[in-house]
Amino acid sequence: MHKKMLADKTILITGASGGIGEACVIEAADSGARVILTGRNEEKLKSVLLKLHDKIHDIAIVDLTNDDSIDSVVKSIFDKHGQIHGFIHAAGFEITKPLRKTTREDFRSLLDINAFSGFSFVRSIMKLKKNKVSQMSFVIISSIMGNVANRGLAAYCASKGAVISGVKAIALELADKGHRINSVSPGIVNTPIVKKIMEKYPVDMKERILKTYPLGTGQPKDVAELCNFLLSDRSRWITGTDFVIDGGYSAK
């Protein structure tokens, strides 16, 4: 019997109660990892925790806008569970506004959660001197909107573009230590939030959107399986790369 892809690894995941984040939690747990679910809403995190089969997993409440909170949570996870092997930053949100109505605070809040908080987690984990893992792997969820664009998404596109470029720079710093970091850029994924948004659109608008995806829109599990591969030793020679997973949307 083959050893599971993430067996004996401890993986931290932000946004763990959201669509992609939850799928990443379930996929990592099924692949043998101990998963630490992080987020703001304890009740939602616990509801995801109940879906996991064994009792080795845990939750941690964190304020993603506060570096002290991130440092404290990372230290407490290490103290409780030992070595940290990998991390997925799945937390994020979107603001859709024309530029004339987009405020500096909109840009700041999107950059803070979508990009900076993920980088802060990586920095905090790297500062753990007692964490002796020789080959850690970090994955930051970006978006195809970090590579292409749509009207009304200037701040969102800027935040996701920051993820892609930041990951490349961080990869160069981590490489001499044997650690890796990559970004994953999904197109439209059928999360509960996206489904609610799509339900509000007229039928003809939904059809137009679907036609822009040659393979159709994605499922959270599609993204989670890619993240699992990037966390595993099977991707040991991959770093500083952005992985587009969009059913062919950006191939046009």
Q: Give me the active site residues, please.
A: 156
pLDDT band for position 2 (cuts 50, 70, 90): low
Residue 240 pLDDT exceeds 70: yes
Decide if pLDDT at 150 tops 70.
yes
95 closest CA partner among 108, 83, 82: 108
Instruction: Tell which residue, 223, 195, 226, has the closest CA to residue 209.
Output: 195
Taking the C-alpha atoms of residue 173 and residue 50, their distance in angstroms, rounded to an integer, is 38
Residue 197: pLDDT band by 50, 70, 90 thresholds?
Answer: confident
Q: What is the overall mean pLDDT for the chain?
A: 95
Residue 48 half-sphere exposure toward CB, CA atoms < 13 A: 30
Q: Is the pLDDT of residue 1 over 60?
A: no
Predicted confidence at residue 4, as pLDDT, reads: 92
- Tokens, residue 109: 């809040």
Model pTM score: 0.96
Q: How confident is the model at residue 252 (pLDDT cuts 50, 70, 90)?
A: confident
Helix axes 19-30, 42-49, angle to 10 degrees: 40
In this predicted structure, what is the pLDDT of residue 210? 87
**Which pLDDT belongs to residue 44?**
96
Are 189 and 15 a contacting pair, CB within 8 Å?
Answer: no
pLDDT value of residue 204: 87
Does the pLDDT value for residue 93 go beyond 60? yes
Q: What is the structure's pLDDT at 88?
A: 98
Average of pLDDT values for 133-159? 96
Gap between the Cα atoms of 158 and 155, Å rounded = 5
Residues 6+ apart with CB under 8 A from 147: 161, 164, 185, 242, 244, 250
Lowest-pLDDT range of 28-37, 68-77, 163-172, 189-198: 189-198
pLDDT band for position 203 (cuts 50, 70, 90): confident
The CA-atom distances, in angstroms, between 154 and each of 103, 143, 159, 163 are 11, 13, 9, 14
* Confidence at 206, pLDDT banded by 50, 70, 90: confident
Q: What is the mean pLDDT of residues 137-166?
A: 97
H-helix or E-strand spanning residue 137: strand 137-141
Strands 10-14 and 86-89: parallel
pLDDT of residue 149 exceeding 90, the answer is yes
Between 198 and 239, the higher pLDDT residue: 239
Residue 116 has pLDDT above 60, yes or no: yes
- The residue with tokens 């998963």 is 35
Q: What percent of the chain has pLDDT over 70?
A: 99
Q: Read off the pLDDT band of 98 (50, 70, 90).
A: very high
Q: What is the pLDDT of residues 28-64, one digit of tens each?
A: 999 999 999 999 999 999 999 999 988 899 999 999 9
Tally of helices (H runs) and strands (E runs) in the chain: 9, 7
**Pick from 168, 148, 160: which is nearest to 241 by CA?**
168
